[in-house]
Structure 1
Amino acid sequence: MISDNEKQQIRQLFANDQKYTSNEKKIQNDFIVQMQIAKYDFKNKDDPLLIQAGLTDQKQSVFIIQGKFQNENNVRSIAYYMISQLQNQKNQEYFIIYINTELLTYLNLSKFYSIFKEFPCVYFENLQKIFIMHGNIFIKSWFWFQNSVQIKVLKSKTIYLEKVAQLLNYQFFKKQQFEKMPAYCKDSSYPQFQQAFIGNQLQVIQQSTNQIYNLELDQYEFTNKGIPLILDLCITRLLQDPQNIQIEGIFRLCSASTQDKQFENYLIQKQYSEILDFENIIVIANFIKRVLDKLKYSVIPYQYYDQIFNTKQYSIEQTQALIQQFPILNRNLFTLIILVLQSVASYSHINKMTSSNLSIVFGISLCRPQEYEQANVQEQYQKIKMVNQFIQFIIDNATEIFPNQKISDFLLDTEEQQIDQQQ
């Protein structure tokens, strides 16, 4: 769901844009006319370039738009259809999947974005994300030449995907959306995509119910806020009392293996109320770190490892841009962990866990290479040291890197919600 803060920021952007405010009355009036046309213009419902792919579990609409625009009629018919679907619920949020089919120009993309030219601010507030499939340099460079407030907002909500299977990283994407994807979207990742809904689905579910380590991130059970449920429970318990994160050496102290096993059994058996009442905070802190250590793939995707240790000087903007490229599940978890570590570091005068100490403990848990080069241990040590410095920089600057984001944005609100999630 889009937070009220995000919507307020978009509202403020539009309010501060002179060109938009001077035309706002005309846009509102034109939109009323478009709404009337949308009620009676049935031609758009047959437009092969747009697919209404149903609703997410949170009742958000999903539109699939194919980038084969022939003329302005395509643009108008799609605009009218979207209006007809969204106008009934003023605050209905929605996703768009745009399938790029033009390799040499950005002409079709330009036509696609013109759909929003006369949309009021509320439609920009309620847009969750635009996913551009098969983007290229022409597509990405199109934004360089645009300066309207509408395009600025749309750019901030746009995510590029190279392979169709990358849609699996996004919790909203369900079997019904998959079935609506046109045939020409097939690429080398398509079999993987199919198996997620067909052959491997039962296997993944069975595996994740009996196993809590060595899983891929998307094999865990997730809350509706995009965080693995077992980590949500543990972090919620950890933060229930501020004194928990004031324990000296938190995340560094060892715990008894017997208690670790007892705690793990509660999770395997889904005795979640026991987790929220578990008294040994060190066991919980160690479990959080152990899950991150034993993820099948690093929280920060492998392809960014070299980029991180080769960066000599970090900036807020570069770091934000890098994190924005992570798949949504990775980005959610990474952001939550950093915000928790920032909170722990704020008590470093008591718990002795400074951002430097925390980065040493969590650096390799959050960011590791696909393979370690055993031949050059000294070089690997230097790389790990650089990664730790990067994590420390993010902890120290978390407020600026993640503005308007807080831990509660990623956790379920109450103990009852935690339990109800599984009933």
Structure 2
Amino acid sequence: MNLSPYQGGRRLLTTSAAVGVAGLVLTAIGGAFDARRALYAYLVAFVYWLGLALGALILLGAFHASSAKWAVVLRRFLENVPGVIPLFIVLFIPILLGRHQLFPWVDPGALEGELRKAVEHKTKYLNVSFFLVRAAFYFVSWIVVAHFLRAWSLRQDAAGGVTLTRWQRRLGAGALPLLGLTMTFAAFDWIMSIDPRFYSTIFGVYWWAGSFMGAFAVTNIAAFATREDPNQFGAYLNLDHFHSLGKYTLAFVAFWAYVAFSQFMLIWIANIPDEVPWYILRINGGWLWVGVFLALFHFVVPFFTLLQRAVTRNPRRLAWVSAGLLVVHWVDLYWLIMPHVHERGPRFTLWDLTAFVGVGGVTVAMAVLRMRGTLAIPVRDPYLEDSLRYQPQ
């Protein structure tokens, strides 16, 4: 196959980097006026973009674990997306510096009543030192797995053979429990601990389900956007690839709804005082309408839309649906985090936008940088030809 290393994307890289830096600077300026509000907006953006990268990494591991041949042509894109995770170590610094504004458990002496008792009960887990150790472990785990899956794949472009395929499959499959557990505990630490009284063992799965769906959505959009470029992976996908991607997107739209409903149902039926107030806050006042919006546009509308072959076999339509899902996924994370700032309902500010484009801009720039200089598909993978001829039975 006559394929050249990808050298495009310079304009996207520079534009994304410039927009990202501007967004981060504006968010920092916003922090000078209202530090707490700006930090919460930043946290939403942080877990949104990091979640997409982790979703792509877990998807890559799942494809290796299942020995999926049809997805080989997608693999290089999924290897490059998690390459942005080292950037999030730097982006984690504002969360660390602003921990007093974000997490009540950081300063238990300033709390009173029920909240103070909840924090004191969990102090062995919710303390700054252990919080930092866990964060370091999460990032190291994610970076090591992502690095070796990509490095072995790039080495295979020159060496060929099946040995490196076996290594990738063993690491991809073996790392899935680690990736799942670290993402779960990261959700506990960075999102759920905003309210130390609340606990839900399914909370990490909830974040993962939305992020995993988002990883498919990002792949759908990227595949459509690169269909005309022979040096990008989208040019090598046929309609059956898009159809399968659409079906997986549909499956995880339904899975997110299942997890969301399961968490709500179990907590509501159990009626435990530590858990129910978390939902009461989100079904009263203006937040109720955000929940209704999520039920409709995170599940009902995309579910019935993606049931149609006219959508899943049309790359443009699938990309539009995927873009909508990415927007709704941000609303979902906003609904998880922002009620702790504005109890009566959503209050959108400029910092919500600047934080989103700030973190997103530098993340996209980093992803494009990782793609440049590499082949868009694993040209010497022994199963590439099967993938290129993919036609489901």
Instruction: Say which structure, 1 or 2, has more relative contact order (CA 8 Å, 6+ apart).
Output: 2
More helix per residue: 2
Highest CA radius of gyration, 1 or 2?
1
More strand per residue: 1
TM exceeding 0.5: no
Provide the TM-score with structure 1 as the length reference.
Answer: 0.29
